[in-house]
Each structure stands twice: as structure tokens, then as C-alpha cells.
Amino acid sequence: MSENLSGLDTFPKLLMHHARVRPDRPAIREKDLGIWQTWGWHRLADEVRALANGLAARGFKRGDHLAIVGDNRPRVYAAICAAQCLGGIPVPLYQDAIAAEMVFPIQNAEIEHAVAEDQEQVDKLLEILPQCPSLRHVYFDDPRGLRNYTQPQLMSCERLIEVGHDAMRRDAGFLETEIAKGSGADAAAMFFTSGTTGVPKGVVLTHASLIDRARAAAEMESLSESDVVIAYLPPAWIGQNIFSYAQPFVTGYCICCPESAETVMSDMREIGPTYYFAPPRVLEALLTQVSIRMEDASRLKRAMYRYFMGVARRVGGMLLDGKPVGIGGRLLYALGDLLVYGPLRNVLGMSRVRLAYTAGEAIGPDLFKFYRSIGINLKQLYGSTETSVFVCVQPNGQVKSDTVGPAVKGVELKFTPERELLIRSPGLFKEYYKNPQATAEAKDAQGWFHTGDAGYFDPEGHVKIIDRVKDVGSLADGTLFAPKYLENKLKFFPYVKEAVAFGDRRDRVCVFINMDMDAVGNWAEKRNLAYSGYVDLASHAEVYALVRECVEQVNADLAAEAELANSQIHRFLILHKELDPDDEELTRTRKVRRGFIGEKYAELVAALYDGRKSVHVEAQVRYEDGRTGKISADLRIEDARTFAPAGAKKAA
Amino acid sequence: MSLPPPGEAQGAAPHAAPGGRRVGDVVLSVEGVSLAFGGVKALQDVSFDVREHEVRAIIGPNGAGKSSMLNVLNGVYHPQKGKIRLGKKEFTDMDPHEAAALGIARTFQNIALFRGMTALDNIMTGRNLKMRTSFLEQALWFGRARSEELAHRRAVEEVIDFLEIQHIRRTPVGRLPYGLQKRVELGRALAAEPRILLLDEPMAGMNLEEKQDMCRFILDVNDHYGTTIVLIEHDMGVVMDISDRVVVLDYGRKIGDGTPAEIRGNQAVIDAYLGVTH
């Protein structure tokens, strides 16, 4: 990034800059009627000008909030910028939210103007009009199905643009003045965080913080105007906003809007993005598709795939990290690249990806290494809405599957004695909207943001996130116990569906395992293991052996980590039933409710710790229709091998 | 997908024609049609009419002659007696290609797509009658043929966009699930830009969600393109919700004709459906 962007402290100023210096470079592409349509920076700026003038003519003022509901569409992004031109604050809302979920943000910010993508979103906004008397103008992009709507609040974006053109003819200089009035300290956008705990909070971010973080990461990864991104995650999510709004505005790269959610795969193949983001579940789904299709492939192709994936596992990651690899390994990898990895990257639409990020949840090491081994530079990052995303990023050549990397330039990190991660960064949010109490709780007087995440620095200074602070405990000897970290490690095995770890204030760690019926059932079928059902299969000695291998593998990994070596799993049992949200054992988002399970199965927990070899259990299960039934079984409890810590500080 | 209940999509009363769509004059009428296969009397002296822009349903128990009626309408069967009036023209019988040229398109009870061809190509076949260039020009893809194909492709893409099937554009139809195949078939019929669309059990074998989707598409087609729709359907909920007027057939005879509310209260119809002791 050689160009001088100093003085361009807001997004509208950056947009006008790009419209001047690279008017015809692509800014946004959208696939419409099967053909990719390109908007250059100049065209985007024109659209934004017209929309902004139109909004102003309709009464949108400095400091007003503009609700934006829609999928990734050029006009959605143009509307965001149009609001910012006028000193307004765009509030992107999740397009898949139900109508009732939009009530709070609109009431909270007293929103008068909203931009909706299509009939579906318009219907939702109209539905909540009675609860949201402030909402007086709804502009829609796609007129399909809306021809006969007569509500006075409705207006098409086309019409709004005409209104804008009329206004521009009357007062051509108006918008330039408005843009010039903006400063970096102004609020640039408000994102509502999902309200899993209580009401949602509106996170207010300034132009300065978003631009600073977008630029820091762009410089670190040397992003340029030649990069291409596919925008396929909800625009209301801060990450998508950074990748498809803040960063292109800082670097001048192009974003591409897929035709529909179902066409993302094929659109990616056509566009060939160079910069890509995917949460672990998307990467997992892609790999599953690949695996399924490989199973249907011819025998020769299967053999090739197996062989070369073996090669890739050995040397692929090392090559990507620039580590020394013998000439034989290099040659084999080159051949594999020609025959397997190249075509595979092509199928995934990742042929041109030179930088890919994953974040949001823990990613399984095998999954992570798969993508790296076939030559895709997948890295982890750490951040949140409150921090404008970029807090930690793994630098090239220092990528590890179990850390999120060191702090990005400009970020200060420290851990409290309770191991909570604190962040001070230019990217921090300004406040929670109309919620000074929550703001004060999250951001202390010295400007440190309390993340609620627990972790520590590894020997190379990378941050390792292990759990939420409130879940972290300690073993009887005072060493760290992070149940979710252990559970995640177990869940990375396909045979383990859920795990529940116990150990807080106890002398050692024991776990409940919930086997994955599909995976274990499949495994059992392949080896002609007869079983009558879940309970029967779960109690098979061979299944226990299978799970024990998984547990011991985890123990071996843990032994290598000084902080967690004492958390090795000593005993385990396989539960007789699947943990189920209907039985309140899991939350609706499928997180284990450790405390509840510990009480409900207190007898089993006691048995894990008193050395019994088996325990009798009777449990009530609730069926989908609300009836209840009983399951009784004798559960076996087995010991797992533990390993001496690698650092050999002290024996467990 | 958020979906308002069918019939209420436009915020209008359930059975009234939605705001912008005006039911017009009679465009298609059937007068005293009788059709027999040997001794089997499939249709006996059936008369009814279809008005422009309306959704007209034909219902009846199994073997009532519904599909036969549809086949008469688009010229597959030739009735022994009676007349069909289409606009100003009058026919005693016509051929399917004539019917198509006059703006009648249809879908089939058992999907009749080219299974090995992609959804895009299948829908393109619906444009067949609108292609003017010669075989040779098309083979060379020269001059007129090229611009013509571009225009047709655009029309097809609009149908694809309308039916929200972008993601299966390049998928061979044989690999698609049933509900989507039905949608592709509707797309092929739409590609012909018909004035009248005949749908033979568009919702047979679908689950609730697929049915809701299909209802929405049928109403959208009716509203957006102003296409007149004649459909055969077994699902009474669907029929009562989306149609303006209903014809009831039983053993080849018309036993009822009117708005859904009238049909619901018609004793002959109730007897035909529930059975009655004689």
C-alpha cells in the first residue's frame, strides 16, 4: 500500500478518494441473471451520492441511525456508505433474523429509516411497525412481489435515487460539505451482538477504530487493490463488514456478491477469490463434501488421493511455512500438486486464495492441517465485534493449529491472574449504545477491554484461548482446569459427539463421553459388530477401546503442554443416552450445560471418582411428543493411560 | 424462507383477486365437450370458461376426467363432440403445437423433462417455438443466431431468477430432488411466455414446505406475468386458497362450478367426495 491515505479519516472520504484515483477498477461485482456485473469505484461513488442525497431529502439527519437488512448486495453496501456520508450510523441487522428480533434494535436506536433488500425483509419490517412507531421510511432494493404494496412507508431504492438526483440538481455541493464535516471520531456503525445472555447490546464503532484495524491487518498481509473477496456471510456480522467494507475501502480491492446462498461454491470457482474467510463449520462442510465425492470416485483416483494426501500431511504444511524439506519430499509434493492438490483447490474455488482466515470457534487440528497441507494459507485470527476484529493474527510462517497468534500491531494484551484476556487497542469500540453500565463493565478506566475469554501466552508469545473465564477452574493442586478446552479436543474426534469434563476442585480429571451414533455405528458395521441400539453399542468393549484411544491421544497432547499437563483424563465412561436439549442437558445452540449434567448424573460422577468399575443407571428420557420413558443400564467405567509431562516439571 | 400463507400474500382477502390483477374477459371456453375412449366416457358434455388473469382449478375424485380435460385443452386429445374457444378462434380439435403457438403451456403430472440435460437447457427448450433462425445458422452460430441465442438466454435467466433456481442451473435434471424438478418443469412452461398455463397436479408428492413454495410461485407467476392459470390439484387446502374459481368433475360430468366458498357448500360436490348411499 504505497498510496497516501492520510487525512482520509472516514469511509466516505476513502470512497471519494478511490473514485478519483481508481475510477474504473472493480469495487463490487454481483452476479445477476447469470452474468457477473461489475461496479467500478466511480459507479459505486455515484450510487452512494444519489442514495445519500435521497436520504437527506427524506429527512435523514446527522446522528440518525439507518437500519439495513439484507444479504450481500452492492446496494446494501452503498446504503451503509450513504448513511455515513451524512454523518449517520448504519445498523446492519441479520437478514435471517425473525421479525421479533428486529424490534429491539429499531426501538433501541429509535430508527426512522430502514433499507430492506426484498419482499421478505419488507414483510418483516411491516410486521413490526406497530411496535416500532419510530420507523417511518422503508426503502427496498428488489421490487419483486412488492408491486401491490401500498403502505405509505414504502419506497423503492430506484425512486430514492431519483429523489437524490433531484436534490443534487438543486444543491450540488451539499454532500461534499456533509462528507467534509465527518471526522474519524464519529460513530461509523453499530452492530448488535447476539443476545444469548440477556438483551442484545449495540456495539458502537468509530471510523477511526475500524479504519485503523482494517489497515493494520491489510499492511500485515500486504493486501492490495488486486485482491478479490467473496462476500457470503451476513453483512450484519462484524467480520463480513471488515472483509467486505472496511478493508476494501482501505485498500481498494474488489468484493463479489454471490447469486444466492446456494451458489456460493460455484460462484467462488468462477471468481477465484484471493482472500477468503470461513468459520470452521464451513471448512468442515467443504471437507465432508470432498470426502463423500472421493468415496464415489474410481479406485485409481481414490488410491491417488490417499497416497498424495499422505505426502501432503508430511510435507505440505512445512513447505507453506518455508521450512526445509528434502528434495524427494519436494518432488513428490510437486507431483501431488499437479495431480491432486491443484484440482482439489480448483474444485473448492480456492485456486487463487493466498490468504484465508478462520475464527469464531476452535478448529480441529486435522481440519486445519488439511487445508494447509494442500497449499491453502489458512490462518487463525482472534477478535470480536468490540475490537473491530483484528486482535491476534498468525503471521505467515508461524501458524499453529492451537493458538490464535500474537497481537497485531497496535494491540496491547495482558492476562489477569484469573487468566482473563484484556485488550487495549485503537480498534476498541466506543461504547455499548445507551448502556453505560455495560460499557463500564466491559471497558475499565485504563481502557482495557475485558474479553471474558481465558487463556495464556505460549512460549513463542502466541495467545492461546482455552475457555470462557467463568468456566475455568482449578484442580485440587491449584493447576489450571479448562473443561471446554478438553471437551473440544475430544470432540475433534469423529467418534465423540459430546464430552463433559469434571475436575474443578478435584484431584484429577474425569469425563463423560457421548459417542457419535452415526460415526460409531458406521465403524461397527464395517467390522461386523452386532448391536441392538444406542445403549448396547455404547457398552461394547470394542467401542470402549475405540474411545479410550481417543482419550489417550488427548492425554498425550496435554502432556506436551506445561500448563495443562495435569488435566490429563484419568477415567471416563460412555453415557447411555445422547445429551439432548429437550432434556435440558444442552442449550439450544448445543453447548453442554456442565453444571446441570453434574447434578443430574451425580451418581455417575461419584462413581468416576470412587474407583468403581461399573455403575447402574436409570434415567428418564423425554420423547419429542412430551412423553417420558425410562432407560436403565450398567455403565462401565474405564481408566485411561496418562503420560508424564513433556517439560517434566513435576509428575502428575 | 419466510412465507405469508398462500392467498394472503398480497394482504388482500384470501379469495379475492389481489390488488393489481384484474380478472378480465373470457379467454378460453369449453362448450359441450365429450370425449370417449371406446366405451369409456371420459368427458360428457362438459362446459366451462376461463377468464383472463384468473387462477382456475379443476378438481374431482380419481378418474373424474381432470387430466383428460387438460389434454383436450392443449390439443393432445381430440374430443368427439363440442367446441373449444380460445380468444376469437374456435376449434373442434387442435394439435399440441398449435396450442403452444397460441400461448398455452403446460406441465405434466409425471414430470416430463430431459433427465440428462441441465436445468438451464431444459428451460431453454421452452423457448423452442420462439426461435426463428435456421438450423444452419444455429449450427454455425453466426449473425442472427448468435444474437437470438443471447436474447433467449436472457429470457431463460429471468425465469431462473424468478423461480430461484440459480444454484441448479448447471445440474442435470435427473440428479435433482423431486420438488426442484417440478420447479424446473414450471420454468420450462414459463419460458414459452404463455398466456395460459396448464398445471397438472403441480403439488403432487410434495411435502408441506415444497407445496408452500410452489403455491407462492404459482401466485407470483399469476401476479407478475399476469398469466392465466388452469390447474388440477388434489390438495383441497391448496385449491381453496389459491384459486379464484373451481370446476368440479365427477365421472366425466361437471357437477359444480363457482368460487371456492360456493364449492365448499355444494351438496353434489360433498357427495362426490365423501360418497353417498343411493
Render A239-307 in DSSP notation, one character per residue: HHHIIIIIHHHHH--EEEE-SSGGGHHHHHHHH--SEEE--HHHHHHHHHHHHHHHHTS-HHHHHHHHH
Confidence class for position A647, pLDDT limits 50, 70, 90: low
* pLDDT one-digit tens code per residue, B20-47: 457 888 999 999 999 998 888 899 999 9
With 50 as the cut, is the pLDDT of residue A651 above it?
A: no
Range of the domain at B143: 26-274
* 3-class state of residue A7 by DSSP: coil
Q: What share of chain A is helix, strand, coil (3-state, %, to 5)?
A: 40, 20, 35
Confidence class for position A23, pLDDT limits 50, 70, 90: very high
Question: B223 and A148: CB-CB below 8 Å?
Answer: yes
Q: Does any CB of chain B come closer than 8 Å to the CB of residue A127?
A: no
Nearest to B104 by CA among B73, B69, B67: B73
Rounded to the nearest angstrom, the minimum Cα separation between B223 and chain A is 8
Kindly state whether residue B10 falls inside one of the protein's structural domains.
no
Mean pLDDT for B238-267 is: 90
Rounded to the nearest angstrom, the minimum Cα separation between B79 and chain A is 39
Q: Does any CB of chain A come closer than 8 Å to the CB of residue B8?
A: no
CATH of residue B195: 3.40.50.300
Residue B7 pLDDT: 36
Domains of chain A: 11-206+236-258 (3.40.50.12780), 275-468 (3.40.50.12780), 472-639 (3.30.300.30)
Kindly report the length of chain A.
652
User: Is A540:A636 a contact under the CB 8 Å cutoff?
Assistant: no
With 60 as the cut, is the pLDDT of residue A355 above it?
A: yes
Distance CA A413, CA A392 (A): 9
Q: Does any CB of chain B come closer than 8 Å to the CB of residue A263?
A: yes
User: Is A609:A603 a contact under the CB 8 Å cutoff?
Assistant: no
With 70 as the cut, is the pLDDT of residue A290 above it?
A: yes
* Cell numbers describing residue B176: 435433482
The position carrying cell 360430468 is B253
Distance CA B129, CA A64 (A): 55
Kindly state whether residue B16 falls inside one of the protein's structural domains.
no
Nearest to A104 by CA among A433, A443, A431: A433
Q: Could you write out the DSSP letters of every residue in A449-495?
A: EEEEEEEEE-TTS-EEEEEEGGG-EE-TTS-EE-HHHHHHHHHTSTT
Q: Does any CB of chain B come closer than 8 Å to the CB of residue A638?
A: no
With 50 as the cut, is the pLDDT of residue A58 above it?
A: yes
Question: B2 and A150: CB-CB below 8 Å?
Answer: no
Nearest to A240 by CA among A213, A277, A198: A277
Residue B257 pLDDT: 92
Question: A148 and B10: CB-CB below 8 Å?
Answer: yes
Of A33, A150, A262, the CB nearest to B167: A262
Confidence class for position B14, pLDDT limits 50, 70, 90: very low
Residue A560 pLDDT: 86
Of B20, B157, B223, the CB nearest to A34: B157
Residue of B nearest to A265 (CA): B167
Sort out which chain B residues have CB atoms less than 8 A from A266's CB and list them: 167, 170
Confidence class for position B143, pLDDT limits 50, 70, 90: confident
Of B153, B167, B224, the CB nearest to A263: B167
* 3-class state of residue A630 by DSSP: strand
Residue A199 pLDDT: 77
* Cell numbers describing residue A17: 478518494
Rounded to the nearest angstrom, the minimum Cα separation between B29 and chain A is 29
With 60 as the cut, is the pLDDT of residue A209 above it?
A: yes
Question: A148 and B158: CB-CB below 8 Å?
Answer: no
Q: Does any CB of chain B come closer than 8 Å to the CB of residue A613?
A: no
What pTM was computed for the model? Answer: 0.83
Degrees (nearest 5) of the Cα angle B106, B112, B117? 115
Weakest-pLDDT range from A172-176, A408-412, A526-530, B137-141:
B137-141
> DSSP character for B237?
H
Question: B166 and A263: CB-CB below 8 Å?
Answer: yes
Sort out which chain A residues have CB atoms less than 8 A from B160's CB and list them: 33-34
Q: Does any CB of chain B come closer than 8 Å to the CB of residue A260?
A: yes
Kindly state whether residue B180 falls inside one of the protein's structural domains.
yes
CB pairs under 8 A between A and B: 48
With 90 as the cut, is the pLDDT of residue A365 above it?
A: no
Residue B268 pLDDT: 87
* 3-class state of residue A135 by DSSP: coil
Q: Does any CB of chain B come closer than 8 Å to the CB of residue A147?
A: yes
- Whole-complex ipTM: 0.72
* pLDDT one-digit tens code per residue, A118-169: 999 999 999 999 999 999 999 999 998 888 899 999 999 999 999 999 999 9
Rounded to the nearest angstrom, the minimum Cα separation between A263 and chain B is 5
Overall domain count for chain B: 1
With 50 as the cut, is the pLDDT of residue A183 above it?
A: yes
With 50 as the cut, is the pLDDT of residue B18 above it?
A: no
Rounded to the nearest angstrom, the minimum Cα separation between B83 and chain A is 37
> Which of A30, A31, A33 would best serve as a mutation to test chain B binding (most B beta carbons within 10 A)?
A33
Kindly state whether residue B197 falls inside one of the protein's structural domains.
yes
Q: Does any CB of chain B come closer than 8 Å to the CB of residue A259?
A: yes
Q: H-helix or E-strand containing A90?
A: strand A89-93
Kindly state whether residue B14 falls inside one of the protein's structural domains.
no
Question: A145 and B154: CB-CB below 8 Å?
Answer: no
Residue B9 pLDDT: 36
Strand-strand pairing, A480-481 and A463-468: unpaired
Average pLDDT of the residues of chain A = 91
Kindly state whether residue B3 falls inside one of the protein's structural domains.
no
Question: B157 and A33: CB-CB below 8 Å?
Answer: yes
> DSSP character for A131?
G
Highest mean pLDDT out of A9-13, A234-238, B126-130: A9-13
Kindly state whether residue B250 falls inside one of the protein's structural domains.
yes
Kindly state whether residue B206 falls inside one of the protein's structural domains.
yes
Residue of A nearest to B19 (CA): A148
